[in-house]
């Protein structure tokens, strides 16, 4: 194995991982342990496969992206003179393969044995490779991958999911279980079943990666009764459905009881990694919290939520996920613009998945109802820590978790009692910094839409920035005040945290000083995260406030496309001797219709930027790879959603599924998919596309 290239080993592992379940792959199997004999490789060179490895979807989907680059695949390992020693990793996907113990401490004559969990073995022989073997290897790389899901993780049928139901078991419930609209007092939830009228439901789209989180066999999506189960027409075996009670501030005004008006949680699944995942059907019918609504959802909004849940996950931003999307076969009447022109639209239900759908409003509702309900705030806080922040339970009073207040002479802040307030504040700050980094605007940052776990939840009228406008809001209900516009999101996050700390203070869970400290930590965490993100987006080694502020000002003046600009910026060369016009060339596709004055402004900024790049000393190609790992090529623009919606409403779901595949890997080049990275067409800015109401 002396001199064996890393990409060769990566290739071979991908081949073995792929062929293990193939029945007619032309390779000989031996005995019950499934030995796969000799794939010969000494003539296989890095040049032969490096390009294929970096562009092969089936290979790249084997492993998470490298920490240093999202566009290349890598696996952590080391090799000695004769033995490949597979380094153990805590990442489950990496730990599928390890060094066989029979060769861990001895020479093996040029052979390498790798084993996966279970008894499968693969033998690599460092001998010659003929062209036929190379052809076979190429076919396997291109054709494999779909049968990998069950190799190292359990693959369960729906009836075999591991349910736990801690929320129902440990929190106070509504004594009634009907769906009549009413005020629900002294309860965190109401047991209620899906009630949407379903006729011939149809599966529109699904996520294999979410199925894997649940240990669910992807073949279950092919079940003839799958759409009926996830429309709520048939019960999911083991589920215990309920709707959560919560309140919230809407546009800064306390709205009282809100709750899951059209979402019904099926229960919590514990997977093989001891992770808790809550399954929820959105649009499944009325609940006590539906107020004057029908509890249903339309295909239009359901497609948007399904796709954006998975797109945000692809961007590595904390989010609820989406297992599947089904149509109900029934029409739902909606007034999209609240202008009196309601129309019938296709009904749909999306199955949302998250560690929890607890939100700030889940705590607020009980604090606002008076002293008799404050105990529920304490019970809910303890529940949240026990199941979702278990690391915080280990904190105990000591100097290393006590911090002096900002004001001299004020008492120290003890994180023993303040632990969840700070955790929620920091997670929220980190989340919103991530939004700002990719140009995402949530659109409805009411406290009932803010996750306690720092997840992006409740996708309504969201939008990614096209032409950069800090005052952009995708929500027609947010006009003219633009409370929830892109630039305001960090401040709104702080305002929402202030409502959360006020709730905990009302329940005597934290003091005023501790509440203030949590809000201080929000500000500090947000700035730390945002500065880090923007520094990496520009490929710099240190934060430059003046440079970034000037850049954002230029982008706002010229309405520059946020996503394309940062992706193209990686093509600027760190060459201070190049003519000024050359620095501008990589950006011409986004700096459209600018006159001489604006052109000069951009050249002036680029001069300073290039000087920063030169001083960093980072080679251009290395910097480009790093920048492309944080600047996505693809984001879920509203017009792309609308294109998929238009087709789906005519019964064609292919564009929804295609968009899902593209958005799962937004940092990759994805040859053939370039049309999804283009500047938006003129029609993308019309009402109902770039801006929407909260109708669903």
Secondary structure of 355-398 as H, E, C letters: CCCCEHHHHHHHHCCCHHHHHHHHHHHHHHHHHHCHHHHHCCCC
Determine if the peptide bond prior to 480 is cis (ω within 30°): yes
How many other CB atoms are there within 10 angstroms of residue 493's CB atom? Answer: 23
- Give the largest CA-CA distance in the chain: 80
Do 295 and 287 contact (CB within 8 A), yes or no? yes
As a whole number of angstroms, the distance between CA 613 and CA 538 comes to 9
Do 59 and 11 contact (CB within 8 A), yes or no? yes
Here the tokens at position 199 are 């006729």
Pairing label, strands 84-85, 35-36: unpaired
DSSP 547: H
Do 198 and 329 contact (CB within 8 A), yes or no? yes
Residue 478 neighbours by CB under 8 Å, 6+ apart:
251, 443, 444, 484, 485
At 442 the pLDDT is: 98
Residue 509 neighbours by CB under 8 Å, 6+ apart:
377, 378, 381, 417, 421
Do 635 and 563 contact (CB within 8 A), yes or no? yes
Within 13 A of 483's CA, how many CA atoms are on the CB side? 14
Which strands sit side by side in the sheet containing 121-125, from one edge to the other? Answer: 29-30, 35-36, 121-125, 111-116, 97-99
At 692 the pLDDT is: 84
CA 232 to chain centre: 25
Distances (CA, A) of 464 to 300, 333, 639, 662: 17, 27, 10, 16
At 603 the pLDDT is: 96
As a whole number of angstroms, the distance between CA 29 and CA 321 comes to 39
For the chain, the residue count is: 696
At 696 the pLDDT is: 61
So which residues are the catalytic ones?
Answer: 448
CA-wise closest residue to 210 among 400, 56, 354: 354
Here the tokens at position 278 are 């809550």
At 204 the pLDDT is: 98
At 112 the pLDDT is: 32
Residue 224: in which H helix or E strand, if any?
none
* CB under 8 A, 24+ apart: contacts of 63-67: 63/93, 63/94, 64/91, 64/93, 65/629, 65/667
Write the Ramachandran bin of 109: left for phi over 0, alpha for psi from -120 to 50, otherwise beta.
left
Question: Sign of torsion, CA 176 177 178 184?
Answer: positive
At 136 the pLDDT is: 34
As a whole number of angstroms, the distance between CA 53 and CA 385 comes to 43
Low-confidence ranges of the chain (pLDDT < 50): 1-148, 396-408
């Amino acid at each position: 194995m002396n001199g064996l290239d890393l990409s060769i080993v990566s290739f071979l592992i991908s081949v073995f991982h792929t062929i293990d379940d193939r029945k007619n792959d032309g390779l000989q199997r031996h005995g019950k342990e499934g030995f796969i004999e000799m794939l010969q490789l000494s003539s296989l060179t890095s040049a032969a496969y490096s390009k294929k490895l970096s562009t092969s979807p089936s290979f790249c989907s084997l492993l998470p992206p490298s920490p240093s680059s999202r566009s290349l695949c890598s696996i952590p390992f080391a090799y000695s003179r004769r033995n490949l020693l597979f380094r153990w990793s805590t990442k489950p996907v990496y730990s599928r393969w390890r060094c066989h113990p029979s060769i861990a401490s001895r020479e093996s004559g040029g052979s390498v044995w790798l084993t996966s969990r279970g008894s499968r073995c693969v033998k690599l022989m460092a001998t010659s490779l003929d062209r036929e073997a190379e052809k076979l290897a190429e076919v396997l790389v291109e054709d494999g991958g779909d049968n990998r899901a069950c190799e190292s993780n359990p693959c369960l049928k729906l009836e075999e999911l591991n349910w736990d139901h801690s929320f129902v078991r440990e929190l106070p419930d509504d004594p009634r279980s009907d769906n009549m609209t009413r005020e629900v007092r002294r309860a965190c939830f109401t047991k209620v079943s899906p009630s949407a009228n379903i006729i011939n439901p149809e599966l529109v789209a699904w996520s294999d990666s979410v199925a894997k989180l649940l240990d669910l066999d992807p073949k279950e999506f092919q079940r003839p009764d799958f759409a009926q189960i996830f429309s709520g027409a048939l019960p999911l075996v083991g589920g215990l459905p309920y709707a959560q009670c919560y309140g919230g501030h809407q546009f800064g005004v306390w709205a009282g009881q809100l709750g899951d008006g059209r979402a019904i949680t099926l229960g919590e699944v514990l997977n093989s990694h001891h992770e808790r995942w809550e399954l929820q059907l959105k649009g499944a019918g009325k609940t006590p919290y539906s107020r004057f609504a029908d509890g249903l959802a339309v295909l239009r909004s359901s497609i948007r939520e399904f796709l954006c849940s998975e797109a945000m996950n692809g961007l590595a931003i904390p989010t609820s996920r989406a297992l599947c999307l089904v149509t109900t076969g029934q029409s739902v009447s909606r007034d999209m613009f609240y202008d009196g022109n309601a129309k019938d639209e296709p009904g749909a239900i999306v199955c949302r998945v998250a560690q929890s759908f607890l939100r700030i409003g889940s705590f607020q509702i009980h604090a606002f109802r008076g002293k008799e309900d404050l105990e529920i705030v304490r019970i809910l806080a303890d529940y949240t820590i026990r199941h979702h922040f278990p690391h915080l339970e280990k904190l105990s009073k000591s100097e290393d978790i006590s911090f002096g207040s900002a004001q001299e002479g004020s008492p120290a802040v003890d994180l023993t009692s303040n632990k969840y307030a700070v955790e929620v504040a920091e997670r929220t700050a980190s989340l919103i910094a991530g939004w700002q980094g990719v140009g995402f605007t949530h659109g409805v940052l009411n406290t009932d839409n803010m996750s306690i776990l720092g997840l992006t939840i409740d996708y309504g009228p969201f939008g990614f920035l096209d032409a950069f406008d800090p005052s952009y809001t995708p929500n027609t209900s947010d006009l003219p005040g633009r409370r929830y516009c892109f630039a305001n999101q960090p401040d709104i996050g702080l305002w929402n945290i202030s409502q959360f700390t006020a709730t905990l203070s009302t329940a005597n869970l934290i003091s005023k000083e501790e509440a203030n400290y949590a809000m201080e930590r929000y500000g500090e965490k947000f700035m730390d995260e945002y500065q880090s993100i923007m520094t990496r987006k520009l490929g710099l080694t240190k934060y430059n406030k003046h440079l970034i502020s000037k850049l954002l000002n230029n982008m706002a003046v010229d309405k520059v496309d946020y996503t394309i600009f940062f992706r193209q910026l990686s093509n600027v060369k760190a060459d201070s001797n190049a003519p000024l016009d050359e620095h501008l060339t990589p950006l011409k596709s986004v700096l459209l219709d600018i006159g001489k004055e604006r052109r000069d402004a951009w050249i002036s900024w680029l001069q300073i930027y290039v000087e920063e790049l030169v001083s960093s000393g980072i080679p251009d190609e290395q910097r480009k790879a790093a920048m492309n790992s944080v600047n996505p090529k693809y984001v879920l623009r509203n017009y792309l959603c609308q294109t998929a919606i238009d087709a789906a409403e005519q019964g064609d779901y292919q564009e929804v599924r295609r968009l899902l595949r593209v958005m799962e890997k937004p940092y990759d080049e994805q040859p053939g998919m370039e049309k999804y990275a283009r500047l938006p067409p003129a029609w993308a800015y019309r009402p109902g596309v770039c801006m929407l109401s909260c109708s669903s």
